[in-house]
């Protein structure tokens, strides 16, 4: 069993361009590449979990997301970070395309994408995190059993709070999120080894 960092895509990992599937318009959020390299170097699996209702709304074909995934992998590889998985929900109950206009268990805040990714990658939730820029991401992570980080970068506008939507911490960007995760792991490792023996000065 391994630990993972699950990441929302738009507004968290990449600059939010609404309903964009043009790889040439994709750009990583400031500091994202370095942050994910540090997490990857620490042994975390990096897995994107993203709502893509543009499919259900008829704005682009589901097949267009393959190029998005490929570009995302390329951008992260430039920083030495490997993406372990790319999971998306194409549904929306009010969609215009009947095939995708359904209630589902994968559209965040439901935890379906995270649960599926964890089952396929052998993820241990107790050491895993979900990072997103809105509280739906937080809720999805908490319902799956992850610790959660909210990027408070202005994208959450509704602030509908409940016990399930309270993040473990709030930071401004992915650099600070990586700091928080790595500090938490270091503290856990120290705790698991117990107290150091007292030194005798003779």
Question: Can you give the residue ranges of every domain in the chain?
Answer: 4-192
According to the model, what pLDDT value does residue 201 have? 35
- The Cα 19–Cα 117 span in angstroms is 23
- The Cα 3–Cα 190 span in angstroms is 18
As annotated, the active-site residues are: 8, 10
Segment among 22-36, 72-86, 176-190 with least mean pLDDT: 176-190
Number of Cβ within a 10 Å radius of residue 143: 18
Instruction: Please state which CATH number belongs to domain 4-192.
Output: 3.40.50.1000
Q: Using an 8 Å Cβ cutoff, are 143 and 113 in contact?
A: no
Average pLDDT score, the chain = 93
According to the model, what pLDDT value does residue 26 have? 98
Residues in Cβ contact with 39 at an 8 Å cutoff, skipping those fewer than 6 apart: 5, 46, 81, 178, 181, 182
Band of pLDDT at residue 19, cut at 50, 70 and 90 = very high
Q: Is 91 exposed, middle or buried (0-12, 13-18, 19+ CB in 10 A)?
A: buried
**H or E element in which residue 74 lies:** helix 65-77
Band of pLDDT at residue 198, cut at 50, 70 and 90 = very low
Instruction: State yes or no: pLDDT of 199 exceeds 70.
Output: no
Number of Cβ within a 10 Å radius of residue 61: 13
Q: pTM of the predicted model, to two decimals?
A: 0.92
How long, in residues, is the chain? 202
- The Cα 36–Cα 153 span in angstroms is 18
Q: Using an 8 Å Cβ cutoff, are 29 and 70 in contact?
A: no
Instruction: State yes or no: pLDDT of 16 exceeds 90.
Output: yes
């Amino acid at each position: 069993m391994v630990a993972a960092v699950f990441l929302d895509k738009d507004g968290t990992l990449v600059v939010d361009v609404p309903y964009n599937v043009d790889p040439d318009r994709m750009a990583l959020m400031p500091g994202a590449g370095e942050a994910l390299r540090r997490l990857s170097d620490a042994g975390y699996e990096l897995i994107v979990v993203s709502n893509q209702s543009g499919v259900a709304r008829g704005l682009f074909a589901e097949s267009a997301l393959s190029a998005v995934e490929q570009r995302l992998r390329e951008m992260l590889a430039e920083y030495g970070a490997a993406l372990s998985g790319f999971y998306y929900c194409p549904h929306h109950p009010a969609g215009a395309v009947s095939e995708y206009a359904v209630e589902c268990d994968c559209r965040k805040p439901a935890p379906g994408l995270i649960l599926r990714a964890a089952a396929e990658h052998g993820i241990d939730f107790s050491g895993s995190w979900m990072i997103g820029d809105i509280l739906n991401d937080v809720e999805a992570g908490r319902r799956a059993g992850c610790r959660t980080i909210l990027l408070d970068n202005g994208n959450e506008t509704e602030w509908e709070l409940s016990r399930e939507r309270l993040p473990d911490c709030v930071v401004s960007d992915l650099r600070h999120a990586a700091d928080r995760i790595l500090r938490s792991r270091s503290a856990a490792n120290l705790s698991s080894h117990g107290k150091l023996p007292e030194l005798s000065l003779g």
